[in-house]
Chains A and B, each alone.
Chain A
Amino acid sequence: TQLLEQSPQFLSIQEGENLTVYCNSSSVFSSLQWYRQEPGEGPVLLVTVVTGGEVKKLKRLTFQFGDARKDSSLHITAAQPGDTGLYLCAGRIYNQGGKLIFGQGTELSVKP
């Protein structure tokens, strides 16, 4: 069974702080996605990274794909209470068609 280890599982910070969430695996991914999920709703796609070493920015969010395409990180600068939610990474396994595996998720709480 392929695993995508996401850490930390829980994160509670004050408004204005920076944070980083990590996803790591021994598997190589052809692409990796990051999602944000609110309670009672389906995940919302934030970004897809496909090239080893790729860095994408979405306002205060920075996503990086590892050079070997086995890991990724999400960095949030100056977190806001509106960033509160469940963050999920998901990887498409190289050479396994449409199979996707998700990390366990990171519950982020940003307090004003």
Chain B
Amino acid sequence: EAQVTQNPRYLITVTGKKLTVTCSQNMNHEYMSWYRQDPGLGLRQIYYSMNVEVTDKGDVPEGYKVSRKEKRNFPLILESPSPNQTSLYFCASSGAPDRLAFFGQGTRLTVV
């Protein structure tokens, strides 16, 4: 089954404790991206990757890192999480940015 898998689904952590949210896709897609969703703000793109070893900033990259060492995985790293990073996060993949058809189930992160 074609899917994008994010883990964990829910995470409560403390300020400053490094964390990684994993994202994996099984469709051999070149394009992957991360978003955060906050009430009244829609989705905001954090980072995207056009292919392996190619990543670029989206609209709100501050406080986040990503890597794309292999095609299927695109982890989101928060080196020192802060409360303003409390949000719902989505990973997505597609063959091209214009056809963003596959989203993960979402990760609800709370930073206290």
Contacts and interface: CB of A to CB of B under 8 A. Distances in A.
A18 B37 CA distance: 28
Contacts of B12: none
B43 interface: yes
Contacts of B49: 98
A100 B45 contact: yes
Interface residues of A, number: 27
A99 B46 CA distance: 9
Interface residues of B, number: 27
A50 interface: yes
A98 B31 CA distance: 8
Contacts of B45: 99-102
Interface string B28-41: 00010101000011
Interface of A: 1-2, 6, 9, 30-31, 33, 40-45, 48, 50, 88, 90, 92, 97-105
Given A100-B45, A102-B35, 15 more contacts: A30-B98, A42-B4, A42-B90, A42-B103, A42-B105, A45-B100, A88-B42, A88-B43, A90-B43, A92-B97, A97-B97, A98-B48, A99-B58, A102-B42, A102-B44
Interface of B: 4, 31, 33, 35, 40-45, 48-50, 56, 58-59, 90, 92, 97-101, 103-106
